[in-house]
């Protein structure tokens, strides 16, 4: 991609209502553009990052036998009356044709339970896990902090169905491990901790995945020994580390990037979802649900990975692999060569000052910056600099592609 052609350019000024680092940097670098409070447009750079996050999640969900589906964003209100959740404050209500009452789904238990019920009758049909990556709508009281708390946002939601609690517990642990793998691949594994939260009526705990960061909205109590935490909501009933019993928990700020929950039979009872066991007995289905917010994850990454001049993308979710800057009219040949070797490159081909190009590269935050100029050629090649490092080096043209491939593998 040539930067001169890219839809969405960097801006020197910060949006006056950008209330967080991620809103400020992502808007300034033209990854996102605010529509209304808590609702954003994704521009080409932003959509690339979001898609990479989604694809990492998708791969890990597929590995644990999740089957991808896509459920509708709107649903008849009756389904929400059936479960008693039609009074939830975050529900957006709509009127359809003939005055029918509809809602925009903030989550999909009310859709997925009756859907799966249409195909699952016997113990032979279980276990089953389906997921989607879709837009959710929540009329949040305080939409804020850029992508961290939207009213329209992206969620991956996985739902699992089991013959009994033992099988639910088995699968729940598998999902937990898959979640750690996902955060690791995205590049926030170091800061993301398992957090014990309230389990609702049916289970002792649910688990959140909380990413430690100073701008985080949640307070969690972290065990310095185990690096697991307890959510503020349950700290009065759980004052020690659930793993090692330590009472030295430390209050820290964090952002919830995932939440897994044993629903048990809450929704299967509401929709009368039974199966017949091997003896032909009628049994209730056990369920789990597992949420993760790709858009919130994207915002959280920026909160964690930035400096004074811009974003520093982790390599697996960067919008491009290479930010190529051409000076003195150079760069086109190298750009074509990189494209021919399948290197994912954005080429700043504009006729503007070197300083302005460098500043934009820092703001956008692609992991590797290459500069080709008369000076770099006099020094024997192309300047290679990591966004995360201060120093640059000169690489001979013949060694460039292998160096790039090595970095990304
Ligand atoms: P929170 O406590 O932060 O309001 P939640 O517990 O209601 O979130 P879940 O229903 O568990 O969230 O949703 C699953 C995941 O979706 C969350 O872990 C988070 O990553 C993401 N998510 C939830 N609400 C929002 C939102 N308003 N904007 C962006 N992402 C969100
Ligand atoms: Mg939650």
Residue in 20, 293, 300 to alter for ligand 1 test, most ligand atoms within 8 A of Cβ: 293
Q: Which residues does 346 contact at the CB level (< 8 Å), separation at least 6?
A: 1, 2, 3, 6, 319, 320, 322, 323, 324, 366
Name the β-bridge partners of 36: 39
Domain boundary pick from 307, 336, 371: 307
* Residue 326 and residue 302 share a domain: no
Q: Read off the CATH number of the domain in which 199 is found.
A: 3.30.930.10
In a domain, 13, yes or no: yes
The per-residue pLDDT for 13 is: 85
Distances (CA, A) of 45 to 66, 146, 176, 200, 201: 28, 16, 30, 39, 43
Buried b (16+ CB within 10 A) or exposed e, 101-137: ebbbbbbbbbbbbbbbbeebeebeebbbbbbbbbebb
In a domain, 175, yes or no: yes
* Residue 259 and residue 198 share a domain: yes
* Residue 138 and residue 171 share a domain: yes
Ligand 1 residue neighbourhood (C-beta within 6 Å): 107, 138, 140, 149-150, 153, 155, 256-259, 291-293, 295-296
Q: Which atom of ligand 1 is nearest to the CA of 258?
A: 18
Question: Cβ–Cβ contacts within 10 Å for residue 272, how many?
Answer: 11
Q: Which atom of ligand 1 is nearest to the CA of 155?
A: 16
* Residue 381 and residue 265 share a domain: no
Task: Report residue 88: phi and psi, to 5°.
Answer: -55, 130
Nearest residue to 322 via CA among 350, 348, 344: 344
Four-CA torsion 11, 17, 21, 24, nearest 10 degrees: -10
* Residue 270 and residue 367 share a domain: no
Per the document, the length of the chain is 409
The per-residue pLDDT for 60 is: 99
DSSP state of 187: T
* Residue 117 and residue 145 share a domain: yes
Q: Read off the CATH number of the domain in which 387 is found.
A: 3.40.50.800
In a domain, 230, yes or no: no
CA distance 335 to 330: 10
Distances (CA, A) of 159 to 57, 66, 164, 312, 375: 14, 9, 15, 34, 57
CA distance 261 to 289: 5
Q: Could you check whether the bond before residue 283 is cis, i.e. omega within 30 degrees of 0? A: no
Ligand 1 atom 21 nearest Cα: 293
* Residue 207 and residue 105 share a domain: yes
Nearest residue to 189 via CA among 56, 289, 278: 56
The per-residue pLDDT for 270 is: 97
Please name the helix (run of DSSP H) or strand (run of DSSP E) that holds residue 137, with its range, or none.
strand 128-137
Q: Which atom of ligand 1 is nearest to the CA of 291?
A: 14
Residue in 256, 257, 260 to alter for ligand 1 test, most ligand atoms within 8 A of Cβ: 256
In a domain, 236, yes or no: no
* Ligand 1 centroid, distance to 357 Cα (angstroms): 37
Domain boundaries, position 266: 3-221+255-307
Q: How far apart are the first and last CA of the chain?
A: 22
Kindly write down the DSSP assignment for every residue of 202-267, as one continuous string: TSSEEEEEEEE-TT-SEEEEE-TTT--EEEGGGTTT--S-TTT--S--EEEEEEEEEEEEEEETHH
Give the strands of the sheet with 322-326, arranged side by side.
345-348, 322-326, 368-372, 382-386, 392-395
Nearest residue to 207 via CA among 260, 264, 263: 260
CA distance 401 to 50: 26
393: left (phi over 0), alpha (psi -120 to 50) or beta: beta
Buried b (16+ CB within 10 A) or exposed e, 16-38: eebebbbbbbbbbbbbbebeeeb
In a domain, 231, yes or no: no
* Residue 206 and residue 152 share a domain: yes
In a domain, 234, yes or no: no
* Residue 336 and residue 301 share a domain: no
Buried b (16+ CB within 10 A) or exposed e, 371-399: bbbeebeeeebbbbbebeeeeeeebeeee
Q: Which atom of ligand 1 is nearest to the CA of 256?
A: 18
Pairing between β-strand 274-276 and β-strand 218-222 as defined by DSSP bridges? unpaired
* Residue 194 and residue 71 share a domain: yes
pLDDT tens across the length of the chain (409 residues): 999 999 999 998 888 888 899 999 999 999 999 999 999 999 999 999 999 999 999 999 999 999 999 999 999 999 999 999 999 999 999 999 999 999 999 999 999 999 999 999 999 999 999 999 999 999 999 888 999 999 999 999 999 999 999 999 999 999 999 999 999 999 999 999 999 999 877 778 999 999 999 989 999 999 999 999 999 999 999 999 999 999 999 999 999 999 999 999 999 999 999 999 999 999 999 999 999 999 999 999 999 999 999 999 999 999 999 999 999 999 999 999 999 999 999 999 999 999 999 999 999 999 999 999 999 999 999 999 999 999 999 999 999 999 999 999 9
Ligand 1 atom 11 nearest Cα: 259
Q: Contact, 196 vs 205, CB < 8 A? A: yes
* Residue 403 and residue 381 share a domain: yes
Ligand 1 atom 5 nearest Cα: 259
In a domain, 248, yes or no: no
* Residue 149 and residue 73 share a domain: yes
Domain boundary pick from 286, 307, 328: 307
The per-residue pLDDT for 244 is: 94
Task: Count how many domains the chain has.
Answer: 2
Question: Is residue 380 classed as helix, strand or coil in its secondary structure?
Answer: coil
In a domain, 242, yes or no: no
Please name the helix (run of DSSP H) or strand (run of DSSP E) that holds residue 28, with its range, or none.
helix 21-28
């Amino acid at each position: 991609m040539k930067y001169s052609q890219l839809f969405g350019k960097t801006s020197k000024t910060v949006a006056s209502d950008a209330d967080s680092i991620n809103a400020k940097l992502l808007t300034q670098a033209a990854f996102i553009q605010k529509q209304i409070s808590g609702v954003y447009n994704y521009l080409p750079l932003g959509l690339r990052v979001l898609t990479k996050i989604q694809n990492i999640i998708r791969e890990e969900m597929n590995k644990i036998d999740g089957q991808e589906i896509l459920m509708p964003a709107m649903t008849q209100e009756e389904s929400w009356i059936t479960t008693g959740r039609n009074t939830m404050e975050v529900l957006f209500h709509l009127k359809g044709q003939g005055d029918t009452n509809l809602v925009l789904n903030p989550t999909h238990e009310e859709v997925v339970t009756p859907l799966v019920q249409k195909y699952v009758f016997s113990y032979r049909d279980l276990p089953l896990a389906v997921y989607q990556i879709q837009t959710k709508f929540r009329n949040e009281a305080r939409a804020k902090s850029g992508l961290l708390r939207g009213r329209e946002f992206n969620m991956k939601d996985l739902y699992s169905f089991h013959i009994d609690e033992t099988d639910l517990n088995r699968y729940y642990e598998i999902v937990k491990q898959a979640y750690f793998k996902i955060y690791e691949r995205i590049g926030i594994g170091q800061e993301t901790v398992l957090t014990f939260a309230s389990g609702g009526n049916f289970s002792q705990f649910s688990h959140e995945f909380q990413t430690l960061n100073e701008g985080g909205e949640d307070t969690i109590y972290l065990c310095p020994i185990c690096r697991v935490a307890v959510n503020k909501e349950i700290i009065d009933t759980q004052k020690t580390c659930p793993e090692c019993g330590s009472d030295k928990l430390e209050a820290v700020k964090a952002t919830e990037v995932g939440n897994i929950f044993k629903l048990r039979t809450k929704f299967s009872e509401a929709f009368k979802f039974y199966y017949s066991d091997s003896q032909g007995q009628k049994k209730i289905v056990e369920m789990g649900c597992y949420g993760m917010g790709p858009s919130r994850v994207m915002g959280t990454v920026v909160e964690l990975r930035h400096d004074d001049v811009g974003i520093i993308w982790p390599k697996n979710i960067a919008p491009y692999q290479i930010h190529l800057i051409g000076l003195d009219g150079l760069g086109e040949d190298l750009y074509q060569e990189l494209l021919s070797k399948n290197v994912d490159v954005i080429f700043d081909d504009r006729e503007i000052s070197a300083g302005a190009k460098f500043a934009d590269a820092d703001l956008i935050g692609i992991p590797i910056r290459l500069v080709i100029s008369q000076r770099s050629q006099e020094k024997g090649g192309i300047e290679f600099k990591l966004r995360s490092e201060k120093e640059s080096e000169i690489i001979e043209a013949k060694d460039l592609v292998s160096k790039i491939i090595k970095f990304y593998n």
